[in-house]
Structure 1
């Protein structure tokens, strides 16, 4: 009977890769505490939005807040159900054993980027933040041939570890779990880029009440420690 109850109560979500380790841990804890199963597909943020737009059946989505806002504007998620789950900063990383460049100030980071060979960025919010910085610094044209943008769903850490790029930028939560990668540190305070990840109920949800309970649990104090363990902060 217990297994049948869990199966009936299961809710399904989709998230960006940055939230994968946190949500996997929290979904497991939620099931232990409530007996209700939560399944989550984690893919690149662009792909996740496209799958929601294509009408795939999900009860909820957890994505960068601007992506959730766009989905809400198009009626694909319920804006009234939106909750801010976590805040994530962008980190700088190199391959294990490589020299750590000085990145303690905006000027130092700019110099490190200009000295590096190839730079790895994502297709998500962290990548956009770097491209905007290049524009502001007036080096966008110079950097164009040296920037390697990871394919959707491919971690920047993989490009660092296999030697494809010398310096990589991505959400700390994604870089810190990658083998072969050393975290140099966050972006300097004056240009620190923070992404808020939000959750909302999808228009295709068939389990609204249970999904609302899970989203509320994601923002409860019980979930805070898991966020900190994985390089994020409670929103």
Structure 2
């Protein structure tokens, strides 16, 4: 069976996975996808990992276009993804509308699960939020970093500590079994990241890559994008 290779930030897994059977039926191509922190996926692309389609933050796609690793003119926005707070299914949901409420929830947490603070979009931002709240040192011994948001949410779902919470991109929370979204981060700490899909310059299957991007960004996939946590870039 012919296939195309996808390197993607973890935020898009919940969008890509449900569309793979439809794409196979329409084109005859299977999607061999890798999903991880955006920095990790960028590094794999730069290292020469086979790639037909890449889905990363718009800023990284712009950089990769400038460096010649992404085909100019091939990029399509998929939507804005916010960062949010999660708890295990069945756990109490605390209000998180203000900075004070977020600070209180983090201080009360017995463990805090989140993605890579160096290479993951949400992980980098979450550490910044902790510093802005002035509690990074206070909660340091309760931080549980994982390579990506999906791994962090899986660990949260299996956590034995009552009162554990997590932070990652909303798309990853909604896609992960065993956890539930409490809320996006309060307005003053909001991170809405634009995710974009593009064709890799060295794509072995450039037409199939274009077809996949068209499907992901299509009107027919709009309900799936919305349900999965991708917000429209237009008002």
Q: Report the TM range for the smaller structure's normalisation.
A: 0.7 to 0.9
Which residue number in structure 2 is paired with residue 230 of structure 1?
Answer: 228
Which residue number in structure 2 is paired with residue 171 of structure 1?
Answer: 169
RMSD: 2.3
In structure 1, C-alpha distance between the alignment counterparts of 2:6 and 2:177, rounded to whole Å: 27
Which residue number in structure 2 is paired with residue 139 of structure 1?
Answer: 135
Structure 2 residue 17 is the aligned partner of structure 1 residue 19:
no
Q: 1:59 to 1:162 in 2, by over 3 A?
A: same
**Which structure's residues are more often helix, by fraction?**
1
Q: 1:175 to 1:216 in 2, by over 3 A?
A: same
Q: CA deviation at 1:131?
A: 1.1
Q: CA deviation at 1:164?
A: 5.9
Q: 1:127 to 1:164 in 2, by over 3 A?
A: farther
Structure 2 residue 29 is the aligned partner of structure 1 residue 37:
yes
TM-score by length of 1: 0.85
Which residue number in structure 2 is paired with residue 196 of structure 1?
Answer: 194
- Partner SS for 2:90: coil
1:183 paired residue among 178, 181, 184? 181
**Residue 14 of structure 1 contacts residue 41 of structure 1 at CA under 8 Å; is this kept in 2?**
yes
Q: Which consecutive residues of structure 2, in runs of 5 or more, have no partner in the other structure?
A: none
Q: CA deviation at 1:214?
A: 3.0
Which residue number in structure 1 is paired with residue 77 of structure 2?
Answer: 84
1:150 paired residue among 142, 146, 150? 146
In structure 1, C-alpha distance between the alignment counterparts of 2:149 and 2:135, rounded to whole Å: 27
Q: 1:162 to 1:21 in 2, by over 3 A?
A: same
Which residue number in structure 2 is paired with residue 162 of structure 1?
Answer: 158
In structure 2, C-alpha distance between the alignment counterparts of 1:234 and 1:223, rounded to whole Å: 12
TM-score by length of 2: 0.85
Q: Which consecutive residues of structure 1, in runs of 5 or more, have no partner in the other structure?
A: 1-5
Which residue number in structure 2 is paired with residue 3 of structure 1?
Answer: none
Q: CA deviation at 1:138?
A: 2.5
Q: Which moved more, 1:108-117 or 1:38-47?
A: 38-47
In structure 1, C-alpha distance between the alignment counterparts of 2:23 and 2:165, rounded to whole Å: 37
Q: Deviations over 1:100-156 (max 9, x none)?
A: 222121221112112222211112211122111122223233333322111247522
Q: 1:120 to 1:190 in 2, by over 3 A?
A: same
